[in-house]
Amino acid sequence: MGLALASLFLGPEIKVVLSNSRVTKLGERLRDGVDDATLLTELEAYRSEFEPAYNRVVRILQEQLFLRVTGRFKSTLSIVEKLRRGSPRLAQIQDIAGCRVVVNSLGEQERVVQSLRAWFSDVKVMRRTIEGNQGYRAVHVLVKIDGRTIEIQIRTLIQNYWASISERMADIHGQEVKYGGGPAALQTQLLRLARAFESAERSNEAYALASARLAHAKRQTASSAEWKLLKDTRMRSKSEYQSAMRKAALVLADKTLRGL
* Active-site choice (49, 151, 198, 201): 151
42 is a catalytic site residue: no
Question: Which residues lie below 8 Å from residue 241, measured CB to CB, with a gap of 6+?
Answer: 200, 203, 204, 207
Task: Output the CA torsion 68→157→109→243 (10° steps).
Answer: -170
> Is residue 100 within 8 Å of residue 94, measured between CB atoms?
no
Angle between helices 106-119 and 2-10 (to 10 degrees): 80
Q: Which residues are tagged catalytic?
A: 151
